[in-house]
Amino acid sequence: MTEFGGIGRTGTLCSGILYCFGAVLTPLMDKHPWITKWGPTLGTIICSASCLAAGYSSKVGKLHDLIIRMICRMFTYLIALATYIVTRLDVRIWGLITLVLPFWRNGASAFGLVYPPVLEWSLKKYGSAITYRAFAVFWLVVILPMIPFFHGRLPMAHRRNPQNLFMSRYLKRPLFWAFMLVTLIQSLAFFVPSLYMPAYATIKGLPGGMVLALYSGASIFGQLLVGTISDHFDSSWLIGITSMCSGISILGLWGHCNGFPMLASFAVIYGLSAGGFSCLWQRFAMLVAPSEPKAGNLISFFATSRGIANVLTGPIAGALVQNSSSAVQGYQTLVYYSGTLMLISSIGVGIRVLYTTKENL
């Protein structure tokens, strides 16, 4: 179990850092639009270089440190730019539009559907060194040529607006902090299943990559569903429904898993219910700052809340597993921890008392 805990902490630290940097990069891109043009190119090159260097690294500690620092820089540029571009599109369909944001943040996209089995196969057949080098080539040959097509709706000269670069008045509202708290609690539970499902499947002799791919594929439809519905229904109800379904699936399916069919069912149901929560962030922003043209900038703060939870998830979950008497007992503890927190986050449905739905939706 020790090796899984170390890997888990590395992964959550990397993704947690990139979540948190959005709150810094978003106002910088407002002030310096040139970042949106050159940032992704620089980030892609850095990511490729990190994978290439990792392929020649022989020390695990230095390898993890290198991957964390360089890949975080790459994805920070890309994700912050995706948020910046999307939040300047048509406000009437923000829920549908922002379903693309979790594709970047969570990896729960078509790429996430293919990536786990391919990575698992490559690691088994060629080892980590060759796999890292192959991904370095992939970033340069496949991703880098796509970057010039990734741009906003308006020309760069029309994007800058010196006013309202920092919306401090909105950050003081109780409604904003209520959404931040719900996001934090939900995120403390959200990452545990996706982080430990592959390891759990491996211990049971099941294909971990396939289980993770099922979760990623289901998340695509979950994001489409929640993103579309949020354009027509109150977001607070969606908080309650998605969190309740996620918590029940964790406690009822993952907690009593006895084979691949049940674990696969859990991966699909959990992906459908939990995968779309971050599609609600744009609606949260609209409720906090309904008359603010740049309300979408608040998304980066909700992402920071998730990033904090992501960084904490690795050490907390690792400690719960390692301090258990057996592997089975350790995973059962994770089930109770994540399932309970997910059910607690469903009380976010009560946030509706802090705003008037008729005036803000």
> How do the pLDDT tens digits run along the chain, 361 residues long?
444 445 555 556 666 777 777 677 777 776 777 777 777 777 778 777 777 777 776 655 545 544 544 554 455 445 545 554 444 544 444 444 444 454 444 444 555 566 667 777 887 888 877 887 887 888 788 877 877 776 555 555 555 554 444 567 888 889 999 999 999 999 999 999 988 888 888 888 888 878 888 888 888 888 888 888 988 888 899 999 999 999 999 999 998 888 889 999 999 999 999 988 988 988 898 888 887 777 777 888 898 899 899 889 888 988 888 887 777 788 889 999 999 999 999 999 988 888 764 454 4
Burial class from Cβ neighbours inside 10 Å (0-12, 13-18, 19+) for residue 44 reads: buried
Tokens describing residue 297:
């900038």
Q: CA neighbours within 13 Å on the CB side: how many for 162? A: 0
Taking CA atoms, 191 is separated from 28, 51, 312, in Å, by 29, 24, 10
- For residues 88 and 153, the answer to whether their CB atoms sit within 8 Å is yes
Q: Which CATH homologous superfamily contains domain 2-159+166-360? A: MFS general substrate transporter like domains (1.20.1250.20)
Question: pTM for the complete prediction?
Answer: 0.74
Reported as type and span, the H/E element at residue 238 is: helix 235-252
Alpha-carbon span 29 to 37, nearest angstrom: 10
SS3 355: coil
Q: What is the DSSP string of 279-327?
A: GGHHHHHHHHSTT-TTGGGGHHHHHHHHHHHHHHHHHHHHHHHHTSSSH
Burial class from Cβ neighbours inside 10 Å (0-12, 13-18, 19+) for residue 157 reads: exposed
